[in-house]
A and B are shown apart, each in its own frame.
Chain A
Amino acid sequence: MNDSNFPLCSLLTYSKKLHLSTLGSPEATTTIELVQMDYTATQSGFRQRKLQPNMRQRNSSMDGSEGSQLFEDTSRAAPGTQAGYSSNQQAGPQAAGFPGQSILSDPMSNLAMAYGSSLASQGREMVDKNLDRFLPISKLKYYFAVDTVYVGKKLGLLVFPYMHENWEVSYQQDTPVAPRFDVNAPDLYIPSMSFITYVLVAGLALGTQNKFSPELLGVQASSALVWLIMEVLAVLLSLYLVTVNTDLTTIDLLAFSGYKYVGMIIGVVAGLMFGRPAYYLSLLWCCAAIFVFMIRTLRLKLLSEAAAEGRLVRGTRNQLRMYLTMSIAAAQPIFMYWLTYHLVR
């Protein structure tokens, strides 16, 4: 039984993390789970990408857990204690229980594995090199360095921003601090998760109106995505026209525009559970909250120093910037209503 699995395993060395869970008994099923083939690039200073053939994984479980991660570990916990690597640790002790017929003794599968791994690494490097030109992968990593506490605090801030006092993003030697350490920093985790949740909730809402079909999920998703992209482009254009010297990047704007999905989800869910008045009430609350949130966040980034502190500064430039901030913040409730009113009837 083990022999028949080895050629299959050799083909699967393409994967980033090989999760082999076997109970060690002959009648137990061997489940091979292909986890996330990522073609993301790492910078030259990061740890080397090592493909994990089966034999390396079985011989050294602890080393395997270090080498098999493609991303720098952005969580606080040590790699050894993470749940994701328990699979490697499981495979380690169980590897010792395997019979002596390992891959080393079979030259054909050895050759096949070596060939496959070299081919895979070549392909992966080519894809990484080309992908890094279009998507700034390393910059994206910063926006996903979040933890549960941050997400909880940020969600609370999105719904109730009135008590929060200090809205400044803290810096650490010229680079902004990761979102995990600063609740004011923008992240992309909440927007992307809430976007996906919004699409699912929209499908649910349409289902209650007997209008659901699987294509409709795709239509909702692409429609919301298009509105998001158009909003980000409009904000970028207006920032260019007003020549604001700001350190807001495109991804920051994407993050800020994505925060409104949280309010939309709350509105639609309340509307589904308690009817239309509840939808209107909760949407009103969330619109006001996101309006205040956006104004307070953008004020520090777009306006000049003096105006941001609240002092009235005359001059057309500051007036323009104030109008710009107001209109960006006012566009959020409009979009929130526009994208959800057809879901709650």
Chain B
Amino acid sequence: MAFTLYSLHHTAVLCTNAIAVLHEERFLCKIGWGADQRVGGFGDDPRIKAQVLNLIRSVRTVMRGQKSVFLCPQK
């Protein structure tokens, strides 16, 4: 498979964009990956799901420049 450095860059940009366009309200809250669902004991090591949510959140914050914290709409 002939990968080039350009294709790597291409892939990175597309993946970052894919993470950035995940909609908080319509999608993430629906599948239980919302911003306020990172529940974990403070003395405990964060679990994998919390780390993934953290990562998604930080990528979106950096890419979109959002400063406000959005909470999932209460049912």
Q: Are B48 and A219 in contact (CB under 8 A)?
A: no
Q: Which of A219, A227, A241, A243 has the most CB of B within 10 A?
A: A241
Q: How many residues does chain B have at the interface if contact means C-beta atoms less than 8 Å apart?
A: 13
Main secondary structure of the interface of A (DSSP, over half): helix
Distance, CA A210 to CA B73, complexed state (A): 64
Count of A-B contacts judged by CB separation below 8 Å: 30
Q: Are A223 and B51 in contact (CB under 8 A)?
A: no
Task: Answer yes or no: A225 CB below 8 A from chain B CBs.
Answer: yes
Stretch of B2-10, B22-30, B31-39, B64-72 with 4 or more beta carbons under 8 angstroms from chain A: B2-10
B26 → A minimal CB distance (Å) = 25
Q: Are A242 and B48 in contact (CB under 8 A)?
A: yes
- Sorting the interface of chain A by its residue count into under 10, 10 to 19, 20 to 34 or 35 or more gives 10 to 19
The interface residues of chain B lying within 8 Å CB-to-CB of A317 are 45
User: B3 touches which one: A222, A242, A320 (CB < 8 A)?
Assistant: A222
The interface residues of chain B lying within 8 Å CB-to-CB of A320 are 48
Distance, CA A226 to CA B4, complexed state (A): 7
User: A241 touches which one: B2, B8, B52 (CB < 8 A)?
Assistant: B52
A-B contacts besides A222-B5, A225-B5, A243-B45, 7 pairs, CB < 8 Å: A222-B4, A226-B3, A226-B5, A226-B7, A241-B48, A241-B55, A243-B46
A contact set with B: CB distance below 8 Å:
219, 222-223, 225-227, 229-230, 240-243, 317, 320
